């Protein structure tokens, strides 16, 4: 989920979901015993299409029944908490989704600076 989550640095808080929206980060079982934490990019009835923020292509699919929880908080080092409902986070997520054609280059720059 890079750049919004960094492996072995950040954690998330999950909660049961009431309703799901495009842009929500969820924990879902996409195959028996195979779980992913990805962002919803499309909802079509009961079917959900997922893509990780750090992915440049490829999607996963699940159904509403396979959703284990929705991210409510991003827990950063030193106790900093970013709410998933934060409007500035939503703006950054929408921008990141629009940058998919050049995401490969942006991720390369990001990885070079961390």
The per-residue pLDDT for range 75-105, each reduced to its tens digit, is 999 889 999 999 999 999 999 889 988 888 9
- For residues 51 and 108, give the distance between their C-alpha atoms in angstroms, rounded to a whole number: 18
Kindly report the CATH number assigned to the domain that includes residue 87.
2.10.109
- Number of structural domains (the chain) is 1
User: Is 1 within a domain?
Assistant: no
pLDDT of 1 above 80: no
Q: Contact, 68 vs 14, CB < 8 A?
A: yes
Out of 12-16, 24-28, 101-105, least confident range: 101-105
User: Is 77 within a domain?
Assistant: yes
Per-residue pLDDT reduced to its tens digit, 29-60: 999 999 999 999 999 999 999 999 888 889 99
Can you say whether the dihedral through the CA atoms of 99, 102, 108, 112 is positive or negative?
A: negative
Question: What's residue 22's pLDDT?
Answer: 95
**Domain ranges, residue 43:** 11-113
Q: Contact, 64 vs 48, CB < 8 A?
A: yes
């Amino acid at each position: 989920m890079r750049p919004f989550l960094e492996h072995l640095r950040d954690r998330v808080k999950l909660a049961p979901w009431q309703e799901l929206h495009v842009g929500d980060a969820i924990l879902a079982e996409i195959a028996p015993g195979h779980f992913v934490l990805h962002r919803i990019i499309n909802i079509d009835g009961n079917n959900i299409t997922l893509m990780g923020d750090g992915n440049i292509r490829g999607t996963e699919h699940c159904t509403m029944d396979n959703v284990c929880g929705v991210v409510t908080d991003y827990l950063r080092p030193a106790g900093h908490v970013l709410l998933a409902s934060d409007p500035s986070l939503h703006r950054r997520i929408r921008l990141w989704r629009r940058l998919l054609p050049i995401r490969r280059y942006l991720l390369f720059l990001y990885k070079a600076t961390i």
